[in-house]
Amino acid sequence: MRFFHRRGWLVSLVVVMALLLAGCGGSTSTGGQANDADKGSGDTLKVGFLGDLSGPYADMGKESLDAIQTAVNEINEQGGLLGKKVELVYEDDELKPDIALRKAEKMVLDQGVKFLFGNTSSAAALALEEKLPQWGVLMFGYVTKSVKVTAPEVNENFFRACHNDDQDKAAIEDYLKRGGVKYQNYYLVGADYEWGHDMVEQLENIVKNLNGNIVGKEFTPLGSTEFGTVITNIRSKKPDVVLAALGGTDQVNFLKQVESFGLMKDGIDVIVTPLMNISLKAEVAGVRGPLNYHYSIDTPLNKNFVERFEKEHGYKPPNFGGEAYNAALMLFEAIKKSQSTDVETLKKTLEDNFEFETNLGRLKIDPETHQLMHPNYIFETVKDPATGKMDLKLVHTTPIEVANAVYLNK
């Protein structure tokens, strides 16, 4: 009898544990599934999205998630990949490296994700990179711009579809050399974290190459809302132009205060990097900068992407949405070419002069850095005098061979 009581106790324990584990499997308020595919199905290929969905870069995160969902919907309508339906799961990393690590580990170990799209923060991407080989996972960059992220010593399992700081630096420098504008005195502003410091270093190189003078430089905390002191400092130095490496709401807040303080009316031009569609919220005309993708780019694939994205999400794809779509295409096309989802097989494919069709045209990956090599563009914010609406106008194109000279001339 004692044996049967013990067995009954063990059965009860197993039932309780099963219920507890089932309860732990639900989604959280910061994560979820972007479709209703059955979790854990052998007929499903899981891909995961990590990005800021609640912080200063939330706009960038949302547009990127929407674009990857569009790519997933598209590939599933075509029958999926190797007979498997693609399922997209996502997590909000809150722009914090420690949270990104925790959320990524959850997706990889608990949800069986083999392929990640990340991040909106270069610092978060760098934190994840050393874990990717341990997990046996590939990650594809859709916003992260620091050149350190694709340095050969850390990029073993990371491939970048979006433009990086080298490419944005090349576009700005090319524009300042060939775009009919001449400046001598520069003031530099950057966000005080990994990407901001990396990009300001690139801006310093531009000024040096142009034989210009840096009359001031400062960094602002990520998520800043107050730029009055910065603008006062800029005005006191009387530069010809401000070069600002600010993203997300930081850029919007900075430009709003540039307008309210009348900085540009003093004859001080403003170039921001990267220029973004959300910059239009500041309603400041005459701001220029590298915009890596625009829905007006005339390629057959882009036309189809824009139509589908707008139908699914109710707005035209902004710049990072366009680049996130290319990140998804990079993975999907590599799987098709390899006829495999094995990580090591895919790495060999992606490193073997891999090229694929994107919304910017047919592009190649640099085998050493894993960086996608694109053209780049300088746009300007403009206001329609008839409607008062803000828009973006193309003012300069930097061709692939110039934007990627650092890779092509090795």
pLDDT digits (tens, 9 = 90+) for 100-124: 999 999 999 999 999 999 998 999 9
pLDDT at 296 over 90: yes
Mean pLDDT within 347-360? 98
Structure tokens at 96: 């914090």
Length of the chain as a residue count = 410
Q: Are residue 393 and residue 277 in the same domain, yes or no?
A: yes
pLDDT at 31 over 90: no
For 86-105, what is each residue's pLDDT tens digit? 999 999 999 999 999 999 99
Q: Can you give the pLDDT at residue 2?
A: 36
Q: Are residue 200 and residue 52 in the same domain, yes or no?
A: no
Mean pLDDT within 303-329? 98
Q: Are residue 86 and residue 191 in the same domain, yes or no?
A: no
Query: Between 58-77 and 248-260, two packed helices, what is the crossing angle to 10 degrees?
Result: 130
Which value, to the nearest 10 degrees, does the dihedral of the CA atoms of residues 119, 258, 381, 117 take? 0
Domain extent, residue 348, equals 30-163+297-373
User: What percentage of the chain reaches a pLDDT higher than 70?
Assistant: 90
Strand order in the sheet with 241-245: 213-220, 185-191, 241-245, 269-272, 288-290, 376-383, 390-398
Structure tokens at 331: 């993975």
Q: Computed from CA positions of residues 223, 229, 231, 233, in that sequence, does the dihedral angle turn out positive or negative?
A: negative
Is 179 inside any structural domain?
A: yes
pLDDT band at 386 (very low <50, low <70, confident <90, very high): confident
Is 15 inside any structural domain?
A: no
Q: Are residue 226 and residue 96 in the same domain, yes or no?
A: no
Report the C-alpha gap between 176 and 405 in whole angstroms: 17
Residue 84 is given by DSSP the state B
pLDDT band at 410 (very low <50, low <70, confident <90, very high): confident
- How far lies 135's CA from each of 32, 155, 407, in Å? 21, 14, 29
Q: Are residue 400 and residue 353 in the same domain, yes or no?
A: no
Contact 190, 197 (CB under 8 A): yes
Q: What are phi and psi of 194, to 5 degrees?
A: -50, -55
- CB count within 10 Å of CB 400 equals 18
Residue 357 is given by DSSP the state E
Q: Are residue 80 and residue 53 in the same domain, yes or no?
A: yes
Q: Are residue 179 and residue 221 in the same domain, yes or no?
A: yes
Beta-strand pair 115-117/44-51 = parallel
Is 35 inside any structural domain?
A: yes
Residue 106 is given by DSSP the state I
Nearest to 86 by CA among 118, 132, 55, 48: 48
pLDDT band at 5 (very low <50, low <70, confident <90, very high): very low
Report the C-alpha gap between 365 and 158 in whole angstroms: 12
For 154-177, what is each residue's pLDDT tens digit? 999 999 999 999 999 999 999 999
Tally of domains in the chain: 2
Q: Can you give the pLDDT at residue 42?
A: 77
pLDDT at 313 over 80: yes
Is 10 inside any structural domain?
A: no
Q: Please give the mean pLDDT across all residues of the chain.
A: 91
In a 13 Å sphere around the CA of 332, the CA atoms on its Cβ side amount to: 27
In a 13 Å sphere around the CA of 64, the CA atoms on its Cβ side amount to: 34
Is 275 inside any structural domain?
A: yes
The CATH number that applies at residue 172 is 3.40.50.2300
Q: Are residue 267 and residue 192 in the same domain, yes or no?
A: yes
Q: Are residue 250 and residue 398 in the same domain, yes or no?
A: yes
Residue type, 52: D
Mean pLDDT within 252-268? 97
Q: Are residue 314 and residue 187 in the same domain, yes or no?
A: no
Residue 31: which residues within 8 A CB-CB, separation 6 or more? Answer: 89, 90, 91, 92, 103, 106
- CB count within 10 Å of CB 384 equals 10
Q: Are residue 266 and residue 402 in the same domain, yes or no?
A: yes
pLDDT band at 32 (very low <50, low <70, confident <90, very high): low
Beta-strand pair 355-358/361-365 = antiparallel
Is 129 inside any structural domain?
A: yes
Is 24 inside any structural domain?
A: no
Q: Is 138 left (phi over 0), alpha (psi -120 to 50) or beta?
A: beta
Q: 161 or 25: whose pLDDT is higher?
A: 161
Q: Are residue 307 and residue 283 in the same domain, yes or no?
A: no
pLDDT at 4 over 90: no
* 3-class state of residue 373 by DSSP: strand
Residue 247 is given by DSSP the state -
Is 16 inside any structural domain?
A: no
Q: Furthest-apart CA pair in the chain: how many Å?
A: 94
H/E run at residue 195: helix 194-209
For 189-246, what is each residue's pLDDT tens digit? 999 999 999 999 999 999 999 999 999 999 999 999 999 999 999 999 999 999 999 9
